[in-house]
A and B are shown apart, each in its own frame.
Chain A
Amino acid sequence: QSVLTQPPSASGTPGQRVTISCSGNSSNIGSNYVSWYQQFPGTAPKLLIYSNNQRPSGVPDRFSGSRSGTSASLAINGLRSEDEADYYCATWDDSLSGYVFGTGTKVTVL
């Protein structure tokens, strides 16, 4: 069972803003950097956000990340049909001495 909790699903219409939360504790999100991954069915995850709010080259600026206390969020502005995928948060956990992933959120474009 993951130590990072995400809502199972999120949805929006094209052009809307969708946010995904990731809840942890002081030993993981509260003291380490958060990354976010995007995964389409049948494919490997892809890094979307690192260091809480940094986008790798090639990731549209519609995607943004933030961290506050022991929670983090991923926002998708101007939702597009191609954003329909699963999204995972992740970070290092000092208590577990391990890298932990969130439970995952499936984003649906209505």
Chain B
Amino acid sequence: QLQLQESGPGLVKPSETLSLTCTVSGGSISSSIYDWGWIRQPPGKGLEWIGNIYYSGSTYYNPSLKSRVTISVDTSKNHFSLKLSSVTAADTAVYYCGRLGRIATRPAWFAPWGQGTLVTVSS
């Protein structure tokens, strides 16, 4: 059974870079069928797609975050990572990673999801 687990600091200072890793177990991240993505959810608010990466390294980013986001993949460690630079309090959220299935070449659904990790931006 495929499982995903987020890891990384729970507290980041304003203007610094948020870094998270999603470790995939029970399956290979090198699958040609799926992308791997990040989603976040501010406390009490809705879901926001951050971006996704194909195992080859091709990436898609949310236009509103694109200038600050980098998603990378390490197939040797079977994990992928998120970096979000110049963070502010508005970036405080639960960050989820997930496997992204495609239909007719377009990203279509996330499953499964990691359990999520709360990242707070505060000095």
Contact = CB atoms under 8 A, between A and B. Distances in A.
Interface residues of B, number: 27
Interface residues on A, range: 20 to 34
A46 B47 CA distance: 12
A51 B46 contact: no
Given A44-B96, A51-B108, A92-B106, A101 B113 contact: no
B106 A32 contact: yes
A101 B116 contact: no
Contact of A99 (B96, B107, B113): B107
A50 B108 contact: yes
Interface of B: 37, 39, 46-49, 52, 60-63, 96, 100-101, 103-104, 106-116
Interface of A: 2, 32-33, 35, 37, 43-47, 50-51, 56, 88, 90-92, 94, 96-104
